[in-house]
Amino acid sequence: MVWSGWLSKSQIIQFLTCPYSWYLAKIRKVKQKYVEALENGKEVHKALENVYIGKEQFESKYEILEELKKHKRFYAFKEQFENFSDLASQYTLKRPLFREYKIIDKNNKMRAIIDRIDRIENELYVVEYKWSSQWPWTHFELSLYASLLENKWHTPIRKGTVFYLTDNTIEMIEITNTMKNDAIKTTNNVRNEIYKKLKDDKFEKRTGVWCENCPYKEVCLRQ
């Protein structure tokens, strides 16, 4: 089977969570089923990206909330939007340096889209928005992004921030060189593991709580 070898952060997490789901998505190219939780996450991300359009700086969290109230499904995501305005005011009211920043790293064969990048007191931060603090991959994601961004910008990235939109908490971490190297190592290990599984034509199913929101559940259950 032919595979380009290119990976994204989402693919790495998908493979490590369930190799069979990665196989259905990337090799069998099975069409994803609609999963409400995933679509809600995408919609909220988009709204948070757009809230800064035309704004250099907000004056208060109330001003951010007023912008978010313009969203057509404001009441569906009221909790997350209110929490976001609260968390942003604790962090920075300035517009991010970049939103949805794309990286294509040919050396590492990696594609990435970073939710936002901020500069605060001359330090660069890679930033992710997460629905819940139960998500176990945030440190890996921030470390990987920091490493890819360093390669691209040739400048040190040592800080990461996560907004947990449902828990109403913000986490700010130091990203060490070890964390960045480990993230790249994980990426390379996953790529090697995929090649091995392609050769053996064997991708195992790994069941768990994540199956509930798996867009390939129906296909998986049939086989």
Determine the interface stretch with ligand SF4 among 17-25, 77-85, 104-112, 173-181 (rule: CB under 6 A): 17-25
d(CA 7, CA 110): 5
Distance separating alpha carbons of residues 210 and 215, to the nearest angstrom? 10
Identify the residue among 61, 95, 158, 205 touching ligand SF4 (CB under 6 A): 205
Nearest residue to 8 (alpha-carbon basis) of 143, 144, 212, 173: 144
User: What's the DSSP call for residue 17?
Assistant: H
The reply to whether 65 sits near ligand SF4 by the rule CB under 6 A is no
The structure tokens listed for 140 are: 């890996």
* Count of residues touching ligand SF4 (by CB under 6 A): 12
Q: Does the protein bind ligand SF4 through residue 22 (CB under 6 A)?
A: no
Pick from 26, 95, 152, 217 the residue near ligand SF4 by CB under 6 A.
Answer: 217
Distance CA 206, CA 24 (A): 13
Q: Binding residue for ligand SF4 (CB under 6 A) from 2, 13, 18, 167?
A: 18
Distance between CA 199 and CA 63 in Å, rounded?
Answer: 55
Indicate the residue among 42 and 222 with the shorter CB distance to ligand SF4: 222
The least distance separating ligand SF4 from the CB of residue 30, rounded to whole angstroms, comes to: 9
Q: At what angle do helices 177-200 and 19-26 cross, to 10 degrees?
A: 70
Cβ neighbours, 10 Å, residue 189: 12
Pick from 85, 84, 45: nearest CA to 165: 84
Q: Which of these segments, 18-26, 94-102, 106-114, 190-198, binds ligand SF4 (CB under 6 A)?
A: 18-26
* Residue 12 makes contact with ligand SF4 by CB under 6 A: no
Q: Is 16 one of the binding residues for ligand SF4 (CB under 6 A)?
A: no
* Residue 26 engages ligand SF4 in binding (rule: CB under 6 A): no
Tell me which of 20, 52, 81, 164 binds ligand SF4, using CB under 6 A: 20
Residues of the shown chain interacting with ligand SF4 in the complex, contacts defined by CB under 6 A: 18, 20-21, 205-207, 210-211, 214, 216-217, 220
